[in-house]
Structure 1
Amino acid sequence: MRYPLDFKDDFPNNLLFWMERFIYSKLNSLSNHQVRDKKEIVNALNKLRYGIAEIKELQEICKQCRNAGLIGINTYVQPLIKLYEHLTYLGLASLKEVDEEMLKEFLTIYTSALSDATKKNYRMTLLNFFGFIDKQNEDDEGSSYNFRIELKNWGGLRGKSGQKLPSYMNENEVHRFLNGINSFPFKHEDLGARNRLLLKLIIYTGIRVSEALNLKIKDITLDGEFFLIQVRGKGNKPRVVMIKAKNISCDFSAWINFRPTEVQDELVFCNHKGKKLTQAYVSRIVEQVLLTNGIRKEKNGAHMLRHSFATLLYQKSQDLVLVQEALGHANLNTSRIYTHFDKQKLKNTTEIMN
């Protein structure tokens, strides 16, 4: 049976569903000659067949199978658990936003201290997982979405194919996007102030969607002509980003006046009930602004704003360490992807032969 790629308006649950289906297929295909208690495997299959509610359940089911003698399942579950943590943290709205560059970033972060053999297991798991989704997803019209993940060149594992570059806006498109934010016809004045502030924070600083949605009032302070923003990144690692006050002052003041008096965890951004916004909502707003202003990219989600910021930052600064610090990357190699957009260096290659 085939399923829609995004059958719910909830990225974490969609991702968990496909991991559940993938593990179910693996339990049915792995060699079971060492299995001591076949009832345990049957119980695990039943749990997966009827669906699970959280990633911890998947981990426990695989542990149950491993203890019963199905050793090979551990090769797949550990990378998938880490992948789930990584992708849900990024604040994606759709599985279609996952691309090769994003997966290579994941591999760089989570396998840097691992052996080559384990790195290969991680790569194999990602290839198998997304290959499985390629074959099993189908929309109402009978069409399938194909990720075509190859991962032929990452870290210390080299292949014939180079990296796929992420989608990003050039400087002209960024200006159009910013103008589009200001002119976009949001339904209500308070939502307009909130959404403009949110999108500007992301595009001007390159912070992740999840980092923006987790900001608290106390995290934003005015320091002369700048706002200092304390961000909690992956692993709860703190960093500080800056934004010119003139770029967000009006929207910030307007939203603070509109913002409900009782807000969950004192969050900066919330809905009318004071609850946290969803990452899917932010990506929908980004896509609407992009399309309204005639900006079309392969990936239209909110994460593309982060790529655009990082690309322009490197082009203007030529400082890879600055890009790493601004984005909160744990490894400099993760930031190195943005050196591929250096047009000035490319132009120098044209001077070799007259």
Structure 2
Amino acid sequence: MTSLERELFELIKDYADFKSKTYSKHNVRDLDSFQILQNQINNTQSMQELNGICQRLCYFGVKSIANLKILNHFYNFLKENSKALKIKELKLLKESVVIDFLYNLSLRYKDSSIFVFKTNIGTFFKYLDKNRGYRFNFSLKMSLGKQVKIPKFLPKEKFFDFINYLKNASFHTDLDKRNRLIVLIVAYSGLRSSEVRGLKTTDITGDEQNYYFKVNGKGNKERIAIIRKELIEEFLQEWLNTPTRKRKNSKGYIFMTAKNTNTTSYFLNKILKKLGFLQDINVGLHMLRHSFGSYIYGETKDLILTQNALGHSNIETTKIYIHTNNDYCRQVANLF
């Protein structure tokens, strides 16, 4: 490493150590293993080694650590261009260099991604100003269009065709039974994937008619999701009584560890393609959350109800579901 590379690496390492301690841990299932891994950050000797630890921390449940990826890109950018830029010390770095870096990324990424990159790298430089004695004071002003896309979702008829197929299909492996239950819970409640995987047996209560799921959502906001017992009772008991669920140490989690999380998306896509609802593209569980939100708003036209059902903190986020509903378009068309 050159002196500049070493300086930047040590600062990124210090920042990664700080952020890994301050990011939310509410999705971390094994805190002991997390702590052992987190303690290794300060002993890393290369960006490659540091990236490996950050990836594993993300796997353990600290999803926000993925925001540090932009610093790896920036490190490589300076490494490749330091001679041309004639920068020997980081304090000589000019804001225009960071703007050029973001501009180069903007040729390959969407504006929404560049906005996230700009925010995350800006936070890094503010940290250096406040905690490490630098005086960058970068504003990083860039004109970025805010593109709002209508989310992918299943229309009402296909949504229920999909649910009915799931409920009537015969699955023989324990993993498929587990995935069926996860998918049904998301479809009937709109929970985020991380919220479902974070459910413990103690989070579920019930009465004669309903199951009540205590959910720890974004920002550690707690809410209750309700699903009628008759909709999932059979499939919940089916999974809880499988040899796999009984044999493995679940630490109280309904769906055990975070391992094999991609199998649920694979399971979902396989069924959607079998039904002819998907072609070449793949989707994740979030598509079912969007389908749930679109259905709830379409049936009720109640934004507040839809917001509460989805656990949105800002109703502006919920307003996207207005655009998934064709009733307004039909009203306009019928004016002519």
Per the shorter chain, which TM-score range?
0.5 to 0.7
The one of 299, 307, 312 aligned to 2:290: 307
Q: Does 1:256 align with 2:240?
A: yes
Q: 1:271-306 CA deviation, whole Å, 9 max, x = no partner?
A: xxxx33443222111111111221116552211111
* Counterpart residue identity of residue 153, structure 1: K
Task: Identify the residue that residue 170 of structure 1 maps to in structure 2.
Answer: 155
- Change in CA separation of 1:30 and 1:306 when aligned onto 2, cut-off 3 Å: farther
User: For 1:210, which of 185, 194, 203 is the aligned residue?
Assistant: 194
State the TM-score, normalized to the length of structure 1.
0.58
Contact 1:32 1:69 survives alignment (8 Å): no
Answering whether residue 328 of structure 2 is matched by residue 345 of structure 1, we say yes
Q: CA deviation at 1:232?
A: 0.7
Distance (whole Å) between structure 2 residues aligned to residue 11 and residue 186 of structure 1: 33
Distance 2:240 2:275 in 1: 28
Specify every segment of 5 or more residues in structure 1 that has no aligned partner in the other structure, as ranges. Answer: 1-8, 38-64, 80-97, 111-117, 125-150, 155-162
Task: Give the Cα separation in 1 of the matches to 2:302 and 2:190.
Answer: 15
**CA separation in 1, counterparts of 2:146 and 2:175?**
43
- Preserved CA contact (<8 Å) 1:184 1:289: no
Larger radius of gyration: 2
Q: Tell me the residue number matched to 1:115.
A: none
Residues 211 and 233 of structure 1 are in contact (CA less than 8 Å); yes or no, is this contact kept in structure 2?
yes
Alpha-carbon distance, 1:19 to partner: 3.8
Match of 2:225 in 1: 241
Tell me if structure 2 keeps the 8 A contact 1:34–1:70.
no
Residue identity over aligned pairs, in percent, reads: 26
Q: Quick one: distance in 2 between partners of 1:106 and 1:336?
A: 21
Q: Given the alignment, which residue of 73, 76, 79 partners 1:22?
A: 73
| Aligned partner of residue 287 in structure 1, secondary structure | helix
Paired residues of 1:34 and 1:69 also in contact (CA < 8 A): no
Distance 1:332 1:24, change over 3 A: same
- SS in structure 2 opposite 1:260? helix
Aligned to 2:261: 279
* 2:13 matched residue in structure 1: none
RMSD, aligned α-carbons:
4.0
Contact kept in structure 1, 2:269 and 2:282, CA below 8 Å = no
Aligned length: 246
Once the two structures are TM-superposed, the CA of residue 23 in structure 1 deviates from its matched residue by: 2.1
**TM-superposed deviation, 1:351:** 2.8
Question: Which amino acid letter does the alignment assign opposite residue 263 of structure 1?
Answer: N
Q: Match of 1:239, SS?
A: strand
SS at match of 2:149: coil
